[in-house]
């Protein structure tokens, strides 16, 4: 999966996130590629190792929960602006 800037991904704990950039950091003298994510609900920034990211599909019931959660986040964002 290509983590491009602006891509929306779902983090298992933080929910919908937007990829803000990619970065490489050295871990035990070896380069590790990370995706920097902005959590949509809180605005918090997290870093996720790209090599450990899992790509999958949500079960049907989970998709509806995600839609409801996304609507709620977008509604909150609209009220805040």
CB-CB contact of 53 with 1 (8 Å): yes
**pLDDT of residue 42 exceeding 80:** yes
Report pLDDT digits (tens) over 9-39. 888 888 889 999 999 999 899 999 999 999 9
CB-CB contact of 10 with 66 (8 Å): yes
What does the alpha-carbon distance between residue 75 and residue 35 come to, in Å, rounded to a whole number?
26
CATH of the domain at 36: 2.40.10
Specify if 14 maps to a domain: yes
Specify if 56 maps to a domain: yes
Specify if 3 maps to a domain: no
Which residue range forms the structural domain that includes residue 40?
8-80
Specify if 23 maps to a domain: yes
What does the alpha-carbon distance between residue 70 and residue 16 come to, in Å, rounded to a whole number?
8
What stretch of H or E contains 45? strand 45-49
What does the alpha-carbon distance between residue 66 and residue 81 come to, in Å, rounded to a whole number?
23
Specify if 20 maps to a domain: yes
Number of domains in the chain: 1
Specify if 16 maps to a domain: yes
pTM for the whole structure:
0.66
């Amino acid at each position: 999966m290509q983590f491009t800037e602006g891509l929306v991904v779902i983090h298992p704990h933080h929910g919908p996130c937007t990829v803000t950039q990619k970065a490489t950091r050295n871990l035990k003298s070896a380069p590790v590629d990370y995706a920097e994510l902005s959590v949509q609900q809180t605005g918090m920034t997290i870093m996720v190792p790209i090599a450990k990211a899992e790509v999958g599909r949500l079960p049907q019931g989970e998709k509806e929960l995600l839609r409801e959660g996304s609507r709620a986040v977008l509604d909150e964002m609209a009220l805040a602006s």
